[in-house]
Amino acid sequence: MNALERKAVIPLAGIYGLRMLGLFLILPVFSLYADGLDGVTPTLIGLALGAYGFTMAMFQIPFGWMSDRIGRKPVITAGLLIFAVGSVVAAMADSIWGVIIGRALQGAGAIAAAMMALLADLTREEIRSKAMAVIGMTIGMSFTVALIAGPLLDHWIGVPGIFWLTGLFALLGIAVLYWMVPNPDHSSLHRDVVSRPGEFGRILSNPQLLRLDLGIMLLHGIMTAMFIALPFVLRDHLSIASASHPWVYLPVLVVAMGVMVPLIIMAEKKGKMKQVFLACITMIALACGMLGLLHDSLTSVIAGLFLFFVAYNVLEATLPSLISRMAPIDAKGTAMGVYSTSQFFGAFLGGAGGGWCYGHYDVQGVFFSAAAIALLWLVVALGMRMPVMRSAMMLHVASDADGPALEAALLQVAGIYEARVVPEENVAFLRVDKKLFDRAAVDALLGVTVNGQDD
């Protein structure tokens, strides 16, 4: 990255990370807190935990489209203000319905698509995947930090204090947006990051992409449901005070992150993606089954959490990569938009469904239901075809280029397996095998320098 790109990517990752940290901080503590709210039922506890997912799923793509019309920063600012208002509503609520409304407002500040569009405006095509990976790592770190910091903050300032803090995070994000993030020279439509209305039919009719969308929905549903039951397991079944819960999560997370790295390398670099993918789904089913059967044993709970976090982290890292490689090369933004919507909707379903299971069948009902869902996912994933590991590239072309003719010529170049030329946007999208790719031939064909972007 050049200096301007670093000035854009680092603060944008910070904004995204603060926002997601605000959403995740209550995961490990909310169930215990909500138990004392007026009007509470187990189902409503789950609904409050997952309510943000429903509104985020509904608004994130429309907010992205709005940013194309009125600008990136105004839309991001509005989203962060809505998030802050939702945090205040939740902080001041003394009933479960007040918290549900606050959490829904938090999710309604859905800035993910607008943030990705601004990131694309401020980065070159050849480093955009790396920039998005930085944001992805920030989200992963936010989740890890939240599991440790959430119970500690609950002990110091309580859950209402956490909600006030998340509102402050949102306002801090607005300050960072205007003081640290550069203004782009111009905003463009980026098919690799932005959803296009006309592409939804093509994406939703692709069975391989639908398997992945279902997978991320089930993964986040299982994760959200588990955190309805886990705080009760640690407090009521294992007699661990809530302020001490981080010392259960911390060593498990640290070791799990160490184990996930070789698994990801095996999947991505050694060509074992499907084997690792299926093994991780199996691990989630085993983890949930173990937690359902043996949640009165600290050793078994730690073992179950270890299996779950290893598998969860690997799947969180590999699913976006698979979406990117399976999506049509000129519609990756739309594919990722549908994927993100599925992810957020999964959090909503997991919260509502997990709360219902807890109310009717206690903690074992949550874990056994999660295990059954993981087994269903495993059956669906067995028929998935893994993509050939090829790289995506974007080329700048003239606006008067003959699209079909140029596509045909590009497909004759060694190492190019897919080509889509969009002259009105001055861009051609390629999927290539870098070991065989004849860069000189493309330079000669187009008379320009090739910019490469790895998936």
Structural domain includes residue 439: yes
Beta partners for residue 429, in sequence order: 394, 420
Question: Do 95 and 53 have their domain in common?
Answer: yes
Question: Do 233 and 360 have their domain in common?
Answer: yes
Structural domain includes residue 191: no
Give the single-character DSSP code of 95: B
Whether the Cβ atoms of residue 130 and residue 120 lie closer than 8 Å to each other: no
Question: Do 40 and 87 have their domain in common?
Answer: yes
Structural domain includes residue 139: yes
Beta-strand ranges (E) seen in 329-405 are 391-396
Q: Point out the domain boundary residue: 145, 163, 186.
A: 186
Question: Do 371 and 258 have their domain in common?
Answer: yes
Question: Do 174 and 289 have their domain in common?
Answer: no
pLDDT of residue 384: 87
Please list the pLDDT of the chain residue by residue as tens digits (455 residues): 788 889 999 999 999 999 999 999 999 999 999 988 999 999 999 999 999 999 999 999 999 999 989 999 999 999 999 999 999 999 999 999 999 999 999 999 999 999 999 998 998 876 777 888 888 889 889 999 999 999 999 999 999 999 999 999 999 999 999 999 999 887 777 777 888 888 899 999 999 999 999 999 999 999 999 999 999 999 999 999 999 999 999 999 999 999 999 999 998 888 899 999 999 999 999 999 999 999 999 999 999 999 999 999 999 989 988 998 888 888 889 999 999 999 999 999 999 999 999 999 999 999 999 999 999 999 999 988 887 777 777 777 777 777 888 888 888 888 888 888 888 777 788 888 878 888 888 877 776 544 444 44
- Nearest C-alpha neighbor of 319 from the set 225, 227, 387, 390: 387
Burial string for 415-426 (b: 16+ CB within 10 Å, else e) reads bbebbbbbeebe
Q: Residue 417: phi, psi to the nearest 5? A: -110, -20
pLDDT of residue 453: 46
Whether the Cβ atoms of residue 300 and residue 237 lie closer than 8 Å to each other: no
Whether the Cβ atoms of residue 389 and residue 325 lie closer than 8 Å to each other: yes
The number of domains in the chain is 3
pLDDT of residue 447: 65
Question: Do 203 and 284 have their domain in common?
Answer: yes
Beta partners for residue 330, in sequence order: none
CATH assignment at residue 432:
3.30.70.100
Q: Point out the domain boundary residue: 341, 370, 388.
A: 388
This prediction's pTM: 0.92
pLDDT of residue 3: 83
Question: Do 176 and 32 have their domain in common?
Answer: yes
Range of the structural domain that residue 328 is part of: 199-388
Side-chain half-sphere of 4: how many Cα atoms within 13 Å? 10
Question: Do 287 and 416 have their domain in common?
Answer: no
Q: Point out the domain boundary residue: 373, 388, 403.
A: 388
Structural domain includes residue 193: no
Structural domain includes residue 219: yes
Block residue for tokens 């995070």: 169
Question: Do 383 and 243 have their domain in common?
Answer: yes
Question: Do 207 and 144 have their domain in common?
Answer: no
Structural domain includes residue 227: yes
Question: Do 100 and 205 have their domain in common?
Answer: no
Taking residue 279's Cβ as centre, other Cβ atoms within 10 Å add up to: 17
CATH assignment at residue 352:
1.20.1250.20
Block residue for tokens 């330079």: 443
Question: Do 23 and 96 have their domain in common?
Answer: yes
Structural domain includes residue 194: no
